[in-house]
Amino acid sequence: MYEHTKVILSLLLLPPVSCTISLKGLQGQLTSLDYPQGYANDLQQSWEIEVPRGYGIKLSFTHIDIEPSPDCAYDHVQIFCDEILHPLICGSNSREGKQFQFPQEYYTTGKWMRVTFVSDFSNEERYTGFAAYYTAVDINECEEEDPCSHYCNNYIGGFHCSCRPGYFLQENQRTCGVNCSGEVLTSFKGVITSPNYPKPYAENSQCQYRIQIEQGFEVILEFAEDFDVEGDPSIGCTSDVLKVTSGAKKYGPFCGDQAPVVKGHLSNVVEITFDTDGHGQKKGWKIIYRSTAKQCSTDILEHSIIQPKKVEYDYKDSVQLHCESGFELYDIQRSEHISSALVHCQKDGSWNSNLYICMPVDCGPPTKLMNGHENFISTVYTSQNQYSCEEPYYKLEGNAVFNCSEEAEWIDATSGQLTLPKCKPVCGNCLLSSKTGRIFGGQQAKPGYFPWQLRLVTTRGEMGGGALISDRWVLTAAHLFDNSLQVEIHGGLVDLRRRSPEGELPMELAIIHPSYRKQVEDGQPNFNHDIALIKLREKVKLRSNLAPVCLPGPGGASLPDDGTLGYISGWGRMEKRKLAVILQYAEVPIVSMDECKNSNYDGPKPVFTPNMICAGLPGVDSCQGDSGGPYVFIDLQNPSRHVVRGIVSFGPQECGNYGVYTHVGNYVDWIETTMKEHEDRETDLEVI
């Protein structure tokens, strides 16, 4: 008893029996283990059946006796074929009184099948298992698969495809196509069509056509109107596809019933591909092509002129190349300017013009203006320069803008002339305040108050003054030259103690008014025409403390009304010292000439003429050392400018009363004429 129990326990602990049997050949038999004696518990058997290619498998059960259970969950047999796992099989097809619910034959169209038998750990009754056999059966692939595009021919164990006349069997041995690839057309014109055109084209085809003509020529394609290719162009031609490729350019895909248009000229090599699917009956397409010589652009070089001028230039055409006005043809290889060059249209549609360039002419830097500035970025053709002057001491006379012309010259942008503008001295501007003062008992000037004021010293040491009326001319009194025609001139001064060499203004010549007469000793004093001009050796550089005063303009001969105030200035004698060290100035009015005539003079009374002005107040006057200095007035038309209307001429021996001044307005014509006669070019004089 003990030993029997031990044997049973040992059997329960054994692992289930599992094996796989491979069956090959056209037929065979398979049974469960120990059939028909009854199968054991814990079995797992598999049979893998394989027949030759071109056959299917028929499996027939001759006996089935397997423990029944719900859904055959305990013991069962199962078949897997054609990627299908069939339902589990159990029960018996031989016991009386029971209807067997499972099929007893199974088929596969493939060449492989697997049968699996499984039993669990216990059976309450004895079941014999199953018995079955298999046979290889022929498959009619032509009916089941339709594997051929044209004709399918079945035979035992396989099939063979064949094609209609005009087609050939492709490499896959199933698809029929036409021989439409590899053709190369080299003539300059021709026709290409889809296979069988105008009959329906072949399906399952990949056609390639190539047009290849001589380099230097271009292909022109045109589709015939009778165009019929399967597909809808609005959704991208997914069925049959026609494409055209030329160099980097691609055209298509084309389909539908509207003939496409390929615009322009293509290169000398054109590829045409036509791919069709396995169905559809469409007429196809027709392409007419021709060729033309490859054309070069009518624009060869920027800013160039070509001769002869044509609408089109073809391969091997030649033209003479020049440059537009304002540009010069430059040979890059030889690094030199040339007048023209012969260039050719090359086979690739380009000109051999890369060796040349049209460079703008160069005007060089514009001429510098004395006391001015140039303002330009470039000096080549069409560049612009704008002149300006050193303000506020100079102003521009003439047009400011000059352009670099095609003749490589800077010309006036308005007139087109070469005449340059000039920087003319600005007269009459100063920093004078409105405070009043006196020379004799006067007030000290500050730098910039009287920038035209000059100090003159004769060779005999006599002191005097003068006024700068341009950047090279000085206005003063003629009587300063009674004993010497040479004077020493200093400008830009306020404090005589701070004289410097740069303030010395060397004199070139002195010009005395031709009607002035030197005074005769012991005779009646006569200062009529007491006016003189000094030409400086060089033009002076104007600055804040050295700038000209304006001359009277038209109508300047008419004096301002009596009582009109004007400024006098100088380094002459003061009340308490012999000479002033710092420039003095005063504001004195014009008065009636009777005031000067009635003044007390030592000796004979001087001669009085309309060429004189009387001015002053008691205690306010010019004095010795101020002779030749200016008597200036604010310009009523432009209050920021000052005009010289008088020159300190003479007065009573006792200063501090009334003084007589040369009436400058009566001599403007003489001043201008004299300066023009002694200038090599136009005077820098400015009158108002």
Q: Any bridge partners for residue 223, and if so which?
A: 287
* Cβ 641 vs Cβ 429: under 8 Å: yes
618 and 485 in a common domain:
yes
- Cα 603 to Cα 302, 518, 521, 525, 657, distances in angstroms: 90, 18, 11, 9, 17
Q: Which among 686, 679, 371, 687 has a CA at the least distance from the CA of 535?
A: 679
418 and 335 in a common domain:
no
- Looking at the domain assignment, is residue 206 inside a domain? yes
| Residue 503 confidence (pLDDT) | 85
pLDDT of residue 6 exceeding 80, the answer is: no
More reliable by pLDDT, 684 or 539 = 539
- Tokens 């056959």 label which residue? 55
Tokens of 216: 């230097």
pLDDT of residue 333 exceeding 80, the answer is: yes
Query: CA 255 to CA 263: how far, in whole Å?
Result: 17
pLDDT of residue 104 exceeding 60, the answer is: yes
- The pLDDT confidence band at residue 449, using thresholds 50, 70 and 90, is very high
267 and 401 in a common domain:
no
Q: Which of 118-127, 347-356, 513-522, 657-666 has the lowest mean pLDDT?
A: 513-522
| Residue 683 confidence (pLDDT) | 40
pLDDT of residue 354 exceeding 60, the answer is: yes
- Looking at the domain assignment, is residue 435 inside a domain? no
Query: CA 47 to CA 400: how far, in whole Å?
Result: 110
**HSE of 564, CA atoms in CB hemisphere, 13 A:** 16
Query: CA 67 to CA 122: how far, in whole Å?
Result: 10
Tokens of 327: 């540009």
| Residue 11 confidence (pLDDT) | 38
| Residue 373 confidence (pLDDT) | 95
pLDDT tens digits, 461-478: 888 999 999 999 999 999
Percent of the chain with pLDDT over 90: 47
Query: CA 480 to CA 15: how far, in whole Å?
Result: 150
pLDDT of residue 439 exceeding 60, the answer is: no
| Residue 182 confidence (pLDDT) | 76
558 and 475 in a common domain:
yes
List of E strands, 469-599: 473-476, 487-490, 507-512, 532-536, 565-570, 584-591
pLDDT tens digits, 139-166: 887 876 778 878 888 888 788 888 877 6
- Looking at the domain assignment, is residue 686 inside a domain? no
pLDDT of residue 521 exceeding 80, the answer is: no
Mean pLDDT across the stretch 332-357?
88
Tokens of 314: 């073809």
Mean pLDDT across the stretch 358-362?
93
Query: CA 260 to CA 657: how far, in whole Å?
Result: 111
- Cα 328 to Cα 262, 287, 337, distances in angstroms: 41, 49, 7
Q: State the catalytic residue, choosing from 65, 530, 621, 626.
A: 530
Percent of the chain with pLDDT over 70: 91
pLDDT tens digits, 549-571: 999 987 767 888 899 999 999 98
pLDDT tens digits, 48-69: 999 998 899 999 999 999 988 8
615 three-class SS: strand
Tokens of 495: 């404090």
673 and 542 in a common domain:
yes
Query: CA 479 to CA 529: how far, in whole Å?
Result: 10
Counted domains in the chain: 5
pLDDT of residue 99 exceeding 90, the answer is: no
Tokens of 607: 């001669």
pLDDT tens digits, 291-326: 888 788 888 888 999 999 888 888 888 999 999 999
Q: Which of 203-212, 529-538, 650-659, 675-684 has the lowest mean pLDDT?
A: 675-684
More reliable by pLDDT, 109 or 491 = 491
Tokens of 279: 């169905």
Tokens of 320: 């003479």
| Residue 483 confidence (pLDDT) | 85
528 and 663 in a common domain:
yes
| Residue 143 confidence (pLDDT) | 77
Name the DSSP class of 68.
-
Q: What are the two backbone dihedrals, phi and then psi, of residue 143, each rounded to the nearest 5 degrees? A: -85, -40
- Cα 671 to Cα 330, 506, 553, 647, distances in angstroms: 56, 20, 12, 13
pLDDT of residue 1 exceeding 90, the answer is: no
pLDDT of residue 682 exceeding 60, the answer is: no
- The pLDDT confidence band at residue 97, using thresholds 50, 70 and 90, is low
Mean pLDDT across the stretch 370-375?
94
671 and 598 in a common domain:
yes
- Looking at the domain assignment, is residue 93 inside a domain? yes
Return the HEC string of 312-357: CEECCCEEEEEECCCEEEEECCCCEEECCEEEEECCCCCECCCCEE
- Looking at the domain assignment, is residue 1 inside a domain? no
pLDDT tens digits, 229-260: 988 888 888 888 899 999 888 998 998 888 89
Query: CA 631 to CA 38: how far, in whole Å?
Result: 155
Q: State the catalytic residue, choosing from 76, 322, 479, 663.
A: 479
| Residue 9 confidence (pLDDT) | 36
208 and 313 in a common domain:
no
- Looking at the domain assignment, is residue 366 inside a domain? no
* Cβ 649 vs Cβ 388: under 8 Å: no
Of the three residues 337, 360, 383, the one that is the final residue of a domain is: 360
Is 479 an annotated catalytic residue? Answer: yes
Q: State the catalytic residue, choosing from 471, 627, 649, 663.
A: 627
pLDDT tens digits, 165-178: 767 787 788 877 77
Is 627 an annotated catalytic residue? Answer: yes
pLDDT tens digits, 586-618: 899 999 999 999 888 877 889 999 999 999 887
What is the CATH number for 412? 2.10.70.10
Q: Which domain holds residue 117?
A: 15-139
576 and 473 in a common domain:
yes
608 and 487 in a common domain:
yes
Mean pLDDT across the stretch 638-647?
93
Q: Any bridge partners for residue 153, and if so which?
A: 160
| Residue 218 confidence (pLDDT) | 86
- Angle at the Cα of 52 from the Cα atoms of 48 and 53, rounded to 5 degrees: 110
- Looking at the domain assignment, is residue 228 inside a domain? yes
| Residue 438 confidence (pLDDT) | 37
- 163 Cβ contact list (under 8 Å, min separation 6): 149, 150, 151, 169, 176
What is the CATH number for 505? 2.40.10.10
| Residue 204 confidence (pLDDT) | 80
What is the CATH number for 257? 2.60.120.290
Q: Which of 89-98, 158-167, 198-207, 571-580 has the lowest mean pLDDT?
A: 571-580
- The pLDDT confidence band at residue 17, using thresholds 50, 70 and 90, is low
Mean pLDDT across the stretch 176-198?
83
Query: CA 559 to CA 295: how far, in whole Å?
Result: 84
| Residue 624 confidence (pLDDT) | 64
Query: CA 458 to CA 572: how far, in whole Å?
Result: 14
- The pLDDT confidence band at residue 687, using thresholds 50, 70 and 90, is very low
| Residue 177 confidence (pLDDT) | 74
Terminal Cα-to-Cα distance of the chain (whole angstroms): 156
- Looking at the domain assignment, is residue 161 inside a domain? no
664 and 615 in a common domain:
yes
Tokens of 461: 């040491």
Of the three residues 111, 139, 167, the one that is the final residue of a domain is: 139
Of the three residues 335, 360, 385, the one that is the final residue of a domain is: 360
509 and 640 in a common domain:
yes
* Cβ 252 vs Cβ 223: under 8 Å: no
Mean predicted lDDT score pLDDT of the chain: 86
